[in-house]
Chain A
Amino acid sequence: MTSPSASPSETVSSETSGESGALASAEGKVPVTVLTGFLGAGKTTLLNHILTAEHGRKYAVVVNEFGELGIDNDLVVDADEEVFEMNNGCICCTVRGDLIRVMGRLLRKKDRFDGIIVETTGLADPAPVAQTFFVDETVRDKARLDAVVTVVDAVNGLETLKQQPEAINQIAFADVIILNKCDLASEAQQQAMFRAIRQLNSVAPVHKAVRGDVRLTDVLDRGGFDLNRALANMPAFLEEGEGAHHHAHEPPHDHEHDHDCQAHGCTQDHDHAHDHISDSGISSHSFTLTEPLDEKRFQAWIGLLLQEKGADILRAKGILHFRGEPRRFVFQAVHMMAEGGFLPPAKGGGKGGDETSRLVFIGRHLNGAELQRGFERCVAA
């Protein structure tokens, strides 16, 4: 360790928070599902659906106002959404202090429940919630962010996106999107909402729902942020890019289960841009390379990129193949905070497309062409 030293307070050191952490182990970590969505989208309905379903599990629920909810759960904790800046001088590095305190205490008694669900207020920015899982030692050691689930109103969603920038962030940040109130929205409304979602977030699966009646497997145990579990999700992660090319511009059609409309759209659908969303400057870019990458080049590039553009990068995720490395590298970032690690080798050699590297950025004022060039320069010589 470096020896502690006292110094006059005028000198504030500036440690970067963008170091890559060790590969987190899923074992013994409590999964945390973060539920976001704009006011009236149906978060609480979905929450009650989750809590009352027959899954044989117990969840601790963290809400902001437990007075009004009437949630039927014996472990509901009131929180404040107290956001604070980390002291590294970086404006995007915010975390939620109340969550650190509440989860720190809940996690001491982790035998009592199987997971934690955090319901944010409709106006909340999900970034401080997600960053809490990178920043705080206790939270990082004992819990894992399973997924950010965003509930979107299929009827009023587009209007909300025009008026409320927070709603844009919530969609951009999502690991799973629930398009709710589909019984009240026309097919055209649903399609328009879907295109808007895809422009902001090209990777999150979108599930249609009526009164929050989603399948639990669509929202729980997603392993969205969990590197070890990413292997299980990787086929879907890759499929989406490839699938999009196959399915792009085909008319919507039914799949084996009708809640899944992720394949209906086009993941790189920049042509369908709607002006009111473009105004926010938020877009989603995904890139695929089939050539193996040079690990050092990638680390240097991504490190610099997050340092320079971190404030504008809401989320970044990748599954990468480095030359001479049989294991896949999984990478994720929220703003400037990043972590990455190697996955164990796929059993039985895995399926096709193992050599493929895929990287997704969701953020503000991103230059897609420049990102693509930067990523391509990481290809091993």
Chain B
Amino acid sequence: MPAPSMPSMPDTPSAPPSLLQHRGAERRYDSPIVATAASRDGQSLCALTADGEAVLVNCEKLRQSEEWQVVELHEGGICLATDSQPGSFLSGGEDGRVMRLQADGRSEELHKGRGWVDCVASTPGNIAFSVKKDVHLCNAAGDETLKVLPHPSALSGLAFDAKGRRLAASHYNGVSLWFVKSRDAKPRLLEWKGSHIGLIIHPRDEAVVTSMQENELHGWRLPDGHNMRMSGYPRQVRSMSFTPRGRWLATSGADSAILWPFFGGGPMGKPPAEFARLPGLFVTCVAAHPREEILAIGYEDGTLVLAETAGLPDDDTPRLLPLCQGARSGGVARGAISTLAFSAGGEMLMFGTEEGYVGVLDLSAGAQAAPASSPSGSAPV
């Protein structure tokens, strides 16, 4: 594997230094960033490249990009998730392997097969991954396969519910909901015709939502299985995130962040909030802060902002905090933001882009601003 290229150029000299320059760092790698994840202990963040290299960032050395560790994990990286263990990550690749990566860079192989490992997920008690039509459910150590769960077609999404009792897997024509501990190997089938390409579970287990091939979302209310359909997107929805208590489901797929209300009977019959619109720029990635009513929003030109969702829906002009500017506003041509992850406590934010940039920001109140690199020294916000 070629070594990572030199750290990227800062935003153009004419632009005021961005928050990313003040409170973070970014660096370019040789292939697109396919996923980012945070460890359970809040100490590290990880990004996976399409070539299968993992970029490990210790939150304490976040600004020293030369200290970021690059580990070759796969021949072709596909998916990355938080591990069951407090300080590590799980990844899946085109080489048919599932790997566990420790914060210090050590890795071990948990599974080796022939098919691509498409999805990986974990709770403190279990890990799960999918290969073609099968989901492998394992113990937390990853050394014992508890069940291999068959599905009618290939899997596109995998998620445990908040308590770790159920495992949802999306596929053509719907979602299979498995009880992790059940001896009865039959799933509850949530059916909806069509191709489901991604999956998310409400943090209070009230609903399962999938994104569909056809530029819309489909949802099932979990208590009664009622169907809900959220449509009107100009593009496919590639990114979904629930705000901490599950009030809003934020998504990409439009030229603003789309937020569906999951309260007061919503989302059915209720319009979504549309905000952080940057005219002509599509939102490509969203990530809700794990604790606060704050949403990180990434755009197709590499722009990244934070937006406050606390005042919604009454306040439709939320406070926006630009983190870095993209190519179309004079910033770095880092490509579309492809993945975002907050650290477990929400103090750090990592992003990855289609052109191979990984960036990390320290959002905590006590963070030291960098020595000003321009005479004015003022942050844009």
Q: Cβ of A1: which chain B residues have Cβ within 8 Å of it?
A: 232-234, 254-255
- Identify which of A77-85, A284-292, A295-303 touches chain B: A77-85
Q: Are B236 and A7 in contact (CB under 8 A)?
A: no
Closest-by-CB residue of A relative to B235 is A137
Question: Any chain B CB within 8 A of the CB of A128?
Answer: no
With contact pairs A9-B229, A101-B118, A101-B156 given, residues A137 and B236 touching in the complex (Cβ less than 8 Å): yes
Q: Are B272 and A4 in contact (CB under 8 A)?
A: yes
Report, as a range, how many residues of chain A touch the other chain: 20 to 34
Question: Any chain B CB within 8 A of the CB of A163?
Answer: no
Question: Any chain B CB within 8 A of the CB of A86?
Answer: yes
Q: Which of A78, A85, A87 contacts B212 (CB 8 A)?
A: A87
Q: Are A84 and B195 in contact (CB under 8 A)?
A: yes
Question: Any chain A CB within 8 A of the CB of B94?
Answer: yes
Question: Any chain A CB within 8 A of the CB of B213?
Answer: yes
Closest chain-B Cβ to A358's Cβ sits at a distance in Å of 34
Q: Cβ of B32: which chain A residues have Cβ within 8 Å of it?
A: 108-109
Q: Are A97 and B153 in contact (CB under 8 A)?
A: yes
Question: Any chain B CB within 8 A of the CB of A3?
Answer: yes
- Identify which of B38-46, B139-147, B178-186, B261-269 touches chain A: B261-269
How many angstroms between the C-alpha atoms of A97 and B118 in the bound complex? 14
Mask of B73-87 contacts with A, CB within 8 angstroms, 1/0: 000101000000000
Q: Cβ of B266: which chain A residues have Cβ within 8 Å of it?
A: 6
Q: Cβ of A101: which chain B residues have Cβ within 8 Å of it?
A: 118, 154, 156
Q: Are A6 and B267 in contact (CB under 8 A)?
A: yes
Question: Any chain B CB within 8 A of the CB of A324?
Answer: no
Question: Any chain A CB within 8 A of the CB of B159?
Answer: no
Q: Which of B50, B193, B229 contacts A6 (CB 8 A)?
A: B229
Closest chain-B Cβ to A88's Cβ sits at a distance in Å of 8
Mask of A1-16 contacts with B, CB within 8 angstroms, 1/0: 1111111110111000
Q: Are B114 and A97 in contact (CB under 8 A)?
A: no
Q: Are A78 and B153 in contact (CB under 8 A)?
A: no
Q: Cβ of B192: which chain A residues have Cβ within 8 Å of it?
A: 9
Mask of B25-57 contacts with A, CB within 8 angstroms, 1/0: 000000110100000000000000011000000
Question: Any chain B CB within 8 A of the CB of A239?
Answer: no
Q: Can you list 15 residue pairs at the A/B interface with Cβ under 8 Å?
A: A6-B230, A6-B231, A6-B266, A7-B231, A9-B227, A13-B231, A77-B94, A80-B132, A85-B193, A88-B214, A97-B154, A101-B118, A109-B50, A109-B76, A135-B213
Additional 10 contacts, C-beta under 8 A, given A6-B272, A86-B213: A4-B233, A4-B260, A4-B271, A4-B272, A6-B270, A8-B268, A13-B231, A87-B194, A97-B154, A109-B51
